[in-house]
């Protein structure tokens, strides 16, 4: 067991926040994880499971044990002809999985190209982009109870997926460690091109008969054009979720703000584009000390250098307040604030 003490987490979170973990251990197998959980010296420490660190904002040191999940491996688990089950280690980088699937001609997650983070974290917030969420191709996952070390398999229904949400953000938060995720991918996928920007990008690329590779290329081009690369500017993607409001509230808002952007949801409510709300409050591209709201996507808060987690969190709270004052709409963080 490789237990380190007083470890800087700066390179383990995409915001690049420099806080320390009192203890840290990396694991590559389910067995190594179970040994760590059961080890006497670690048993009573608070634990934090870290994947790619792409959806977390540290505001203070972590006075416990950080467990860094590096479980590797992508394998065809069951080839059912049209549908192929692919079992993936939680430590596999999400985009490497997307690339692997495209190389094998397997479709279903190409719209989720270039999302930072690891596969094990993907179901926790049901990652989504360009009209697709991972719940659409999710088959099952294995998770280990953080106290007993026992493994349980969760199917799609048991994961209680919602918009950027699952049981792992609710009742099971901090209680289990995801070790493997299995996806049901397709040899004859239905391509999801309805998201306007994809169609437009494919036209720009001169592609009239797209395949999974072309869709992935289009998504990568769109993301690169407006989302900052965390390797260059610290960020965790969208900082807030797009809020859901009622049809009558959007009607009232639309009378005052005709340009407001919203999408209908099943059940009558609408989802409002938080990036638009934040931009209308004057935050887009604004730099405040070491932080700011990104110039091409107001929903993305960034660390321009040596920002502390609290500086970013203060900015987030100020933005949240100004959106609430102007529109009467509450925007909630998507990012996990520690």
Is 238 known to be catalytic? yes
Query: CA torsion sign, 276 to 282 to 287 to 289?
Result: negative
Is 334 known to be catalytic? yes
Give yes or no for residue 316 binding ligand EPU (CB under 6 A).
no
Report the alpha-carbon distance of residue 243 to residue 275 in Å, rounded: 10
Q: Which is nearer to ligand EPU, 193 or 273 (CB)?
A: 273
Is 164 known to be catalytic? yes
Q: Which is nearer to ligand EPU, 144 or 299 (CB)?
A: 299
Which one from 110, 140, 142, 334 is the annotated catalytic residue?
A: 334
Which one from 54, 216, 238, 293 is the annotated catalytic residue?
A: 238
Q: Taking the complex as a whole, how short is the minimal distance between the CB of residue 95 and ligand EPU, in angstroms?
A: 13
Q: Which is nearer to ligand EPU, 278 or 307 (CB)?
A: 278
Q: Which is nearer to ligand EPU, 7 or 189 (CB)?
A: 189
Q: What is the DSSP string of 143-180?
A: EEETTT--EEEEEHHHHT-BTTB-GGGTTTTTTEEEEE
Give yes or no for residue 242 binding ligand EPU (CB under 6 A).
yes
Report the alpha-carbon distance of residue 40 to residue 253 in Å, rounded: 57
- Pick from 328, 227, 322: which is nearest to 281 by CA? 322
- Pick from 122, 64, 128: which is nearest to 91 by CA? 122
Three-state SS for 201?
Answer: helix
**Binding string, 70-109, against ligand EPU, x = CB under 6 A?**
----------------------------------------
Chain residues 191-210 in contact with ligand EPU, contact rule CB under 6 A: none
Binding range to ligand EPU, per CB under 6 A, among 61-69, 180-188, 201-209, 238-246: 238-246
Cβ partners under 8 Å of residue 329, min gap 6: 243, 245, 249, 253, 272, 277, 323
Chain residues 256-285 in contact with ligand EPU, contact rule CB under 6 A: 261, 273, 275-276, 279, 284
Choosing from 253, 298, 307, 316, the residue that interacts with ligand EPU (CB under 6 A) is 298
For residues 91 and 118, the answer to whether their CB atoms sit within 8 Å is: yes
CA distances (Å), origin 272, targets 159, 247, 262, 275: 25, 11, 4, 9
Choosing from 71, 215, 299, 315, the residue that interacts with ligand EPU (CB under 6 A) is 299
Which one from 164, 166, 216, 262 is the annotated catalytic residue?
A: 164
- In this structure, the chain runs to a length of 338
For the chain, the straight-line distance linking the first and the last C-alpha, in angstroms and rounded, comes to 26
Give yes or no for residue 333 binding ligand EPU (CB under 6 A).
no
Q: Taking the complex as a whole, how short is the minimal distance between the CB of residue 275 and ligand EPU, in angstroms?
A: 2
Contact residues toward ligand EPU (CB under 6 A) are 129-130, 237-238, 241-242, 261, 273, 275-276, 279, 284, 297-299, 334
Active site residues: 164, 238, 334
């Amino acid at each position: 067991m490789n237990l380190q003490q007083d470890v800087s987490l700066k390179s383990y979170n995409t915001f690049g926040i420099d806080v320390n973990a009192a203890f840290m251990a990396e694991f590559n197998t389910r067995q190594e994880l179970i040994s760590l959980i059961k080890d006497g010296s670690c048993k009573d420490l608070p634990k934090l499971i870290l994947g790619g660190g792409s959806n977390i904002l540290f505001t203070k040191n972590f006075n416990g044990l950080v467990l860094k999940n590096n479980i590797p491996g992508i394998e065809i688990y069951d080839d059912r002809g049209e549908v192929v089950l692919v079992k993936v280690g939680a430590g596999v980088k999400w985009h490497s999985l997307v690339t692997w699937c495209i190389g094998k001609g397997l479709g279903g997650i190409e719209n989720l190209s270039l999302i930072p983070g690891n596969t094990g974290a993907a179901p926790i917030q049901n990652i989504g982009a360009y009209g697709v969420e991972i719940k659409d191709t999710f088959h099952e996952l294995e998770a280990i109870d953080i106290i007993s070390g026992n493994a349980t398999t969760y199917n799609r229904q048991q994961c209680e997926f919602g918009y950027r949400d699952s049981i792992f953000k609710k009742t099971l938060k901090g209680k289990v460690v995801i070790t493997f995720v299995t996806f049901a991918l397709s040899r004859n996928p239905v391509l999801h091109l309805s998201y306007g920007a994809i169609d437009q990008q494919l036209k720009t690329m001169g592609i009239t008969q797209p395949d999974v590779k072309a869709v992935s290329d289009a998504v990568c081009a769109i993301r690169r054009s407006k989302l900052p690369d965390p390797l260059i500017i610290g960020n965790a993607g969208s900082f807030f979720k797009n809020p859901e409001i009622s049809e009558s509230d959007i009607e009232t808002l639309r009378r005052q703000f005709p340009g407001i952007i919203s999408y209908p949801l099943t059940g009558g409510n609408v989802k409002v584009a938080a990036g638009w709300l934040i931009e209308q409050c004057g935050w887009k591209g604004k730099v405040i000390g070491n932080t700011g709201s990104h110039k091409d996507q107001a929903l993305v808060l960034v660390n321009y250098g040596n920002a502390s987690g609290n500086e970013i969190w203060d900015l987030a709270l100020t933005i949240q307040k100004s959106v609430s004052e102007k529109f009467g709409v509450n925007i909630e963080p998507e990012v996990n604030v520690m």
